[in-house]
């Protein structure tokens, strides 16, 4: 079922391509030895290269190159053994050199693929056109002074990977799935932290619309959208705007637009009319980047298991549904946590606890898997207590909540609170007899045919035993007592 | 190839160089002279020859990922026409 927008003249298909800027994880910048840490005092992480002082020359950071190659390999993309750096020329106050060093004609990584999973369980392969390395610009603050903009060059020169998709996406949902999947892959690879709030991952969104099956029409680029949700909103808003233009008999002009999240609409960036005349040319300060086959092979050998492979393994090894596997592998830390819990235990029960009780507890306490109040080993120990029948399923939920509260080991909680399951037949029989005696009227109804009351008796017996009765034994004892005196 | 006055005006604007109308003719002549000279290179047959991006035929030198620079905001800001605390201050440029 494909996504369309109904206009007054018929239904329209939306065509989307994404350009994602992903900040490379490295200690130093792409072409200088200044630090890349987020949040430092203004202009304290700036070298004379970054500030474009005359005569300063760029020297490329080997790790940034390695990160781009790793990312390319993680996207199943072609690695270009020879690539080149070009100057992209434009004037802006946060770009001191008047040009950005980028890769135009010869990027380091060529065509690849990202497989996205959609809510209905289907998957689609989305083409990646290319990935290239480039410098980030500095940061402008426009709200500090009525007539001045403040410039901080700490970010200037930090390495970015621009990852360009084919115009293969057809709905806001697919675009969101693509971004989330790309972020997951980058995080697994350790090449970008994917933090959109801090701006270490930003998206430019290319949108056009067409009647079904018609050729591509003119696209507009919505710049610098900084969350998955905003990307999805921007696509819909921009598509609706373009449909209105076409249906009113007008023509969509190719232009750069901004998404206004507060208004939920896009607007033109008219001042960038010359912005697309970048006059690229090869940077004479930098020789071609030639990769060594052995080095690329070494980087490939060092790659971690990637999310798609891990998801397939979870399905095969643990017998989990595709959906559960997808949820568990979305974050590496969650997948690691799950595997620690599942090791040597009931894998499906482990998945239920991680995705149910644990996720709920993390949500409630506002914590992440990394600082979970319940460690994977502790949750595993809880499942062991269940498996060896020390406690029953209901008590396990209580113990889990106590673990969230106190961070204590489950065995300690069970011992201190006396939650050990009662398997002593005499004690269970006594409780059953007490309950039946106290509810003689209900016993009569049950025997008169209201069999649904069986659940009531189970509940009463469990209550009488403070929830600690072994459910199987309690059921058996009840059947026995209700049956034998029933004639 | 030859540049018309409008193109010369556009190139100057993109380079943020102010060119008076009276200078356009002279600049157009000079630029066309340079282009004509470069066009002579087209006479050379370069079929099958890899583009040369530099005359130093050595590999691009790489450096290790180590922080070796920065921590000198005052030096970086020393030539700024205007500053505000640790920031460069420039006429407001806003979308």
**Residue at token pair 């029960």:** A349
Separation in Å, CA of B43 to nearest CA in chain A: 22
Q: With an 8 Å Cβ cutoff, is B95 touching chain A?
A: yes
Asked whether the beta carbons of residue B61 and residue A35 sit closer than 8 angstroms, the reply is: no
Instruction: Report chain A residues whose CB lies below 8 A from the CB of B92.
Output: 142, 145-149
Q: Which domain holds residue B35?
A: 5-43
Domain CATH code at residue A435: 1.10.10.410
Instruction: Report chain B residues whose CB lies below 8 A from the CB of A150.
Output: 84, 87-89
- As for how many domains chain B has, the answer is 1
Pair A42, A181 in one domain: yes
Residue B12 inside a domain? The answer is yes
Is the interface score ipTM higher than 0.90?
Answer: no
Q: How many residues does chain A have?
A: 487
| Cα B8 from Cα B23, distance rounded (Å) | 10
Residue A30 in contact with residue A63, Cβ under 8 Å? no
Which residue out of A46, A50, A68 would a mutagenesis test of the B interface target, given it has the greatest number of B Cβ atoms within 10 Å? A46
Pair A256, A110 in one domain: yes
Give me the residue from B14, B72, B93 closest to A279, CB to CB: B14
Pair A275, A323 in one domain: no
User: What is the DSSP code (8-state) at residue B23?
Assistant: H
Q: Quick one: which H or E segment has residue B83?
A: strand B83-84
Which residue out of B11, B52, B58, B73 would a mutagenesis test of the A interface target, given it has the greatest number of A Cβ atoms within 10 Å? B73
Find the residue in B nearest to A65 (Cα): B62
Q: Single out the residue of A2, A5, A484, A485 nearest to residue A242, CA to CA.
A: A5
Pair A454, A334 in one domain: no
Q: Report in angstroms the alpha-carbon separations of A411 from A341, A384, A469.
A: 16, 10, 18
Asked whether the beta carbons of residue B88 and residue A62 sit closer than 8 angstroms, the reply is: no
Pair A320, A345 in one domain: yes
Residue B66 inside a domain? The answer is no
Residue A329 in contact with residue A335, Cβ under 8 Å? yes
What token pair was written down for A389? Answer: 């029948």
Contacts of A195 (CB under 8 A, 6+ apart): A201
What token pair was written down for A217? Answer: 């029409």
What tens-digit pLDDT sequence spans chain A (487 residues)? 589 999 888 999 999 999 999 999 999 999 999 999 988 999 999 999 999 999 999 999 999 999 999 999 999 999 999 999 999 999 899 999 999 999 999 999 999 999 998 888 888 999 999 999 999 999 999 999 999 999 999 999 999 999 999 999 999 999 999 999 999 999 999 999 999 988 899 999 999 999 988 999 999 999 989 999 999 999 999 999 999 999 999 999 998 999 998 999 999 886 555 557 899 999 999 999 999 999 999 999 999 999 999 999 999 999 999 889 999 999 999 999 999 999 999 999 999 999 999 999 999 999 999 999 999 999 999 999 988 888 888 889 989 999 999 988 998 888 888 778 777 788 888 888 888 888 888 888 888 888 888 889 888 888 888 888 888 888 888 888 887 554 3
Residue B80 inside a domain? The answer is no
Find the residue in B nearest to A269 (Cα): B95
Pair A409, A470 in one domain: no
Instruction: Report chain B residues whose CB lies below 8 A from the CB of A84.
Output: 53
**Residue at token pair 């045919």:** A449
Q: Which domain holds residue A479?
A: 425-484
Final residue belonging to a domain, choices A251, A269, A297: A297
- Dihedral sign, Cα of residue B31, residue B34, residue B37, residue B41: negative
Residue B36 inside a domain? The answer is yes
Asked whether the beta carbons of residue B65 and residue A269 sit closer than 8 angstroms, the reply is: no
Residue B92 inside a domain? The answer is no
Asked whether the beta carbons of residue B65 and residue A43 sit closer than 8 angstroms, the reply is: no
- As for how many domains chain A has, the answer is 3
Pair A278, A406 in one domain: no
Residue B35 inside a domain? The answer is yes
pLDDT for the residue numbered A487? 39
Residue B69 inside a domain? The answer is no
Separation in Å, CA of B35 to nearest CA in chain A: 16
Asked whether the beta carbons of residue B66 and residue A152 sit closer than 8 angstroms, the reply is: no
| Cα A404 from Cα A97, distance rounded (Å) | 54
Find the residue in B nearest to A276 (Cα): B14
A200 backbone φψ class: left, alpha, beta (φ>0; ψ -120 to 50): alpha
Question: 3-class DSSP state for residue B50?
Answer: coil
């Amino acid at each position: 079922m494909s996504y369309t927008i109904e206009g007054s003249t018929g239904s329209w298909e939306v065509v989307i391509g994404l350009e994602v800027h992903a900040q490379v994880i490295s200690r130093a910048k792409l072409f200088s030895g200044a630090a890349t840490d987020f949040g430092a005092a203004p202009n304290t992480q700036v070298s004379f290269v970054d500030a474009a002082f005359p005569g300063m020359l760029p020297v490329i950071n080997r790790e940034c190159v390695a990160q781009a190659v790793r990312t390319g390999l993680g996207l199943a993309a072609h690695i270009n053994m020879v690539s080149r750096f070009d100057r992209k020329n434009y004037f802006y106050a946060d770009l001191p050199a008047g040009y950005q060093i980028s890769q135009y004609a010869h990027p380091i990584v060529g065509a690849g693929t990202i497989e996205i999973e959609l809510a209905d369980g289907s998957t689609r392969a989305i083409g990646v056109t290319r990935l290239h390395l480039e410098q980030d610009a500095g940061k402008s603050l426009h709200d500090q002074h009525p007539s001045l903009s403040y410039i901080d060059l700490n970010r200037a020169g930090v390495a970015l990977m621009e990852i360009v998709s084919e115009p293969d996406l057809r709905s806001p949902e697919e675009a969101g799935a693509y971004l989330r999947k790309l972020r997951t892959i980058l995080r697994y690879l350790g090449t970008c932290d994917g933090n959109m709030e801090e701006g270490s991952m930003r998206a430019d969104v290319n949108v056009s619309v067409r009647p079904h099956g018609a050729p591509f029409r003119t696209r507009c680029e919505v710049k610098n959208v900084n969350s998955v949700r905003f990307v999805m909103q921007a696509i819909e808003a921009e598509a609706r705007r373009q449909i209105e233009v076409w249906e009113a008999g007008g023509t969509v002009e190719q232009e750069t637009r901004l998404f206004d999240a507060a208004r939920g609409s896009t607007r033109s960036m008219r001042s960038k009319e010359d912005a697309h005349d970048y006059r690229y040319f090869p940077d004479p300060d930098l020789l071609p980047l030639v990769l060594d086959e052995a080095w690329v092979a070494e980087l490939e050998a060092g790659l971690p298991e990637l999310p798609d492979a891990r998801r397939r393994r979870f399905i095969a090894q643990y017998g989990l549904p595709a959906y559960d596997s997808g949820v568990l592998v979305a974050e590496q830390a969650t997948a690691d946590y799950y595997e620690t819990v599942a090791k040597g235990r009931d894998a499906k029960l482990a998945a239920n606890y991680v995705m149910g009780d644990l996720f709920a507890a993390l949500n409630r306490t506002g914590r992440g898997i990394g600082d979970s109040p319940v460690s994977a080993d502790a949750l595993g120990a809880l499942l062991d207590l269940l498996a060896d029948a020390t406690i029953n399923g209901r008590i396990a939920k209580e113990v889990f909540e106590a673990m969230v509260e106190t961070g204590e080991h489950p065995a300690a909680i069970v011992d201190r609170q006396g939650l050990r399951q009662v398997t002593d037949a005499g004690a269970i029989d006594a409780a059953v007899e007490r309950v039946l005696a106290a509810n003689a009227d209900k016993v009569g109804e049950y025997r008169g045919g209201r069999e649904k009351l069986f659940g009531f008796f189970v509940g009463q017996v469990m209550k009488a035993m403070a929830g600690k009765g072994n459910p199987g034994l309690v059921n058996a004892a009840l059947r026995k007592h209700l049956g034998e005196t029933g004639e | 190839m030859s540049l018309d006055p409008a193109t010369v005006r556009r190139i100057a604007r993109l380079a943020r160089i102010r060119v008076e109308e009276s200078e356009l003719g002279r600049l157009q002549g000079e630029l066309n002279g340079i282009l004509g000279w470069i066009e002579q290179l087209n006479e050379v047959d370069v079929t099958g020859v890899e583009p040369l991006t530099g005359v130093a035929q050595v590999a691009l030198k790489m450096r290790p990922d180590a922080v070796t620079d920065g921590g000198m905001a005052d030096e970086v800001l020393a030539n700024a026409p205007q500053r505000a605390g640790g920031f460069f201050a420039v006429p407001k440029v806003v979308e």
